Structure 1
Amino acid sequence: MAWNEPGNKGNKDPWGNKSGNDKGPPDLDEVFRNLSKRFGGGKGNGSGPKVSSFGLIIVLGIAVVVWGLSGFYTVKEAEKGVALRFGEYIGEVDPGLQWKATFIDQVFPVNVNTVRSIPASGSMLTTDENVVLVELDVQYRVTNAYNFLFSAVDANESLREATDSALRYVIGHNSMDDILTTGRDKIRRDTWSEVERIIEPYKLGITIVDVNFLPARPPEEVKDAFDDAISAQEDEQRFIREAEAYSRAIEPKARGQVQRMEQQAKAYKEREVLEATGKVARFNLLLPEYKSAPKVTRDRLYLDAMQIVLSGTSKVLVDSKSSNNMMYLPLDKLMQKSQSNAKPRSVNSNSTTSSSYGSSTHSSVPLDTRPTRGERQGRN
């Protein structure tokens, strides 16, 4: 019930005054005087309240508790804290619940696990005086939190400027064909090395993890021509790979053929050597016989040679001088034999020389070209 509503007994206001004697809110001096009495203070002397030492101790205790509780803080798992005391570096703080002296120590958390990236792009001039549009993305991680915060005004901006400078330097020392086609990996590695060389003296507290060289583009005015050039380069590489695959498939076959031919040559050599050795041995065996009976040995050799020569032919040789008997020739059998032989041997030379020894009994049957006994004796 409100103090001035009807029915309020006493009709008192909130300050304890009756409605008929309203003097306004109480005096502040009186309020302080009452507080001093509660905390054991003395009487006022007109200059203000006097607080006792016990009250000051309680107030200071509360302030100390509040100050101590305000010093607790948490460093996240992926972070490192850089601690400063009156602005001086005192060390790094590990992840977890930590405490610092408020108004004395300062802690700046830095994420050291996240991989950050800085892009760089622009139109750049190549060594062959062409303009190319390139894009680069540098990925890095903070490895020294103090250097990252205080070695430079802004480590990220310093790295961005170093990346742009390194990229322009590398692009300026390469041709446009290399940038667009085969030299991309070399440009990426050269840019990585150049960025590390530039930022090393500044001690930014960062480590480059990777450098991604995005596909470069020629100006729009000549884009179609460069697309054709890139397609031709890709076709060249494809043809080279196909030729290498064909070479890898043919080479083992060629090596096997070479080995087979070498083995055949060795076998042929061994066979010829063995045959020659056998002929020499045979000749050495015949030589004593020839010396003891030269004529008989020559006749025997002659007959053996003629037997070998004439054994594969279907021709019949007749000595007309040594025999005058009529001979019956089995022509049907001779024809069958000549047809059955795959490679019949011809002795046509005998038919041309037979006229010197006598006439042939039949034109299709050549005469024997062996010398007669008397001719052989005359020759010897």
Structure 2
Amino acid sequence: MAWNEPGGGGNKPKDPWGGGDQGPPDLDEALKKLQEKLGGLFGGGKGGGAGKGSGRGIPASLFVVLGLVVVVIWALMGLYQVDEQERGVVLRFGKYYETVQPGLQWNPPLIDDVTTVNVTKVRAASFRETMLTQDENIVEVRMSVQYVIDDPISFVLKVRDPENSLQQAAQSALRHVVGDARMDMVLTEGRAQIGFDVQTRLQRYTNDYQTGIRVVKVNIDESKPPSQVQAAFDDVIKAREDEERLKNEAQAYANGIVPEARGRAQRVTEEAAAYREQVVANAEGEAERFTKLLTEYAKAPEVTRQRLYLDALEKVYTKTSKVMVDVEGGNNIMYLPLDKMVDQSNRTRSGGGNAGIGGATLRELTNSVTEQLRQDAASASTRRGGR
């Protein structure tokens, strides 16, 4: 129904709110009606016509009950549980207040802000980087970092994003260590050492940044050259293996030949030392013999001279089987076949045997030759005197 529809009392428009006048609804009247309804809801009676104004107010007990309910809800909101592996960092009005231990805890809500941090869980982060080594080769390295939160206060308050800082610090440490190493060390036997160096440097970085993170382990999961040069690198590895094999073979050959050569050298050295001792001993013996012979010569010169002469002939004749004798004063040379003479003498004495010139036989032959030579020399002298 329209507001200006005629009806009721003359030309005045009809009130859609049910009032007798034609003005807007009274706000105070609307609030009174609402108060009356709330009073009836919570047990406040209207009390007849005389007590109509006093029964319409909200009782004070209602506000007390509402306050108690709000307080209980607020208190229950402050209860929380901290697990055994967690620690709670409490901020009161945005400022650090305390660190709570495991168990049932309570902090006033809307006043304190609690952040729980797991301090025993081992977390992991992986990285893959392509970098340049010390010998100007490119390698791809995949690394994993295991870490725990060691200081929850620093982890929550001192760095805005500590895990992102850890990632950047790990990349920096890896590039620094790999940049100081050769390619063969990164790809083969140096991976464990590189992981240890990266862990040491990364822990120093995180301590400087005050991230509250403790690095547990750094593993170099994979290191390889870029795929574009993989074939060439395989050839290099094969050549290095061939080099190592040839070195081992050469070392084995050296291990076999060097001791043998040292043994021969030792034997030659010992033989030379023995020969030296022998020569020195012979020389000393000859010198001593000559000294004794000189003493005997001084006692009997003629006999000693004759004996020396015979000994010299004996030495000479033992080394030859034929003797040519130049007769003094004559033009003929006497030929003595000593080997045949010895053979004939041996056959005569023993009826056969080995040929050889003994000392006694040689003396007999020497005496015979000497006597014959003297006789020939005497005859030649007699003939020259008769002429």
The bucket for the TM-score relative to the shorter chain is 0.5 to 0.7
Cα 1:148–1:245, aligned 2, differ >3 Å: closer, same or farther? Answer: farther
Aligned with residue 47 of structure 1, among 46, 57, 64: 57
1:283 lines up with 2:265 in the alignment: no
Q: CA deviation at 1:232?
A: 0.8
Partner of 1:217: 225
CA contact (8 A) 1:75 1:98 kept: no
CA contact (8 A) 1:133 1:219 kept: no
Partner of 1:229: 236
Give the counterpart letter for 1:73 in structure 2: V
Cα 1:110–1:72, aligned 2, differ >3 Å: closer, same or farther? Answer: closer
CA distance in 1, matches of 2:150, 2:261: 58
CA distance in 1, matches of 2:74, 2:152: 32
1:121 lines up with 2:128 in the alignment: yes
Partner of 1:21: none
Give the counterpart letter for 1:372 in structure 2: T
Partner of 1:83: 89
Deviations 1:226-274, CA, capped at 9 Å, x for gaps: 2212211222133234434444555555555555555554444444444
Unaligned 5+ runs, structure 2: 1-36, 45-53, 326-333, 358-364, 378-387
Q: Which runs of structure 2 are paired with 1:137-152 in the superposition (5 Å)?
A: 137-152=144-159
Partner of 2:162: 155
Give the counterpart letter for 1:154 in structure 2: D
CA contact (8 A) 2:141 2:224 kept: yes
1:73 lines up with 2:82 in the alignment: yes
CA distance in 2, matches of 1:179, 1:171: 7
CA contact (8 A) 2:322 2:335 kept: no
CA distance in 1, matches of 2:254, 2:269: 22
Q: Which runs of structure 2 are paired with 1:326-365 in the superposition (5 Å)?
A: 328-330=344-346, 337=354
CA contact (8 A) 1:82 1:146 kept: no
Q: CA deviation at 1:197?
A: 5.9
CA contact (8 A) 1:117 1:138 kept: yes
CA distance in 2, matches of 1:132, 1:301: 95
SS of 1:83's partner is: strand
TM-score, normalization by structure 1? 0.57
SS of 2:238's partner is: helix
Partner of 1:356: none
CA contact (8 A) 2:153 2:212 kept: yes
Cα 1:183–1:267, aligned 2, differ >3 Å: closer, same or farther? Answer: same
Deviations 1:119-153, CA, capped at 9 Å, x for gaps: 32244456777654333334444443333333322
Q: CA deviation at 1:108?
A: 2.1
1:202 lines up with 2:209 in the alignment: yes
> Percent identical across equivalent pairs?
32
CA contact (8 A) 2:89 2:152 kept: no
Partner of 2:143: 136
CA distance in 2, matches of 1:318, 1:59: 156
User: In terms of Rg, which structure is larger?
Assistant: 2
SS of 2:296's partner is: helix
Partner of 1:110: 118
TM-score, normalization by structure 2? 0.56
Q: Which has the higher helix share?
A: 2
SS of 2:118's partner is: strand
Cα 1:169–1:105, aligned 2, differ >3 Å: closer, same or farther? Answer: closer
Partner of 1:372: 370
SS of 1:156's partner is: helix
CA contact (8 A) 2:119 2:150 kept: no
Partner of 2:171: 164
1:243 lines up with 2:250 in the alignment: yes
Unaligned 5+ runs, structure 1: 1-26, 35-43, 339-343, 346-366
Deviations 1:14-52, CA, capped at 9 Å, x for gaps: xxxxxxxxxxxxx87566449xxxxxxxxx953234439
Cα 1:250–1:334, aligned 2, differ >3 Å: closer, same or farther? Answer: farther
CA contact (8 A) 1:218 1:226 kept: no
CA contact (8 A) 1:188 1:213 kept: no
Cα 1:243–1:190, aligned 2, differ >3 Å: closer, same or farther? Answer: farther
CA contact (8 A) 1:117 1:137 kept: yes
Partner of 2:23: none
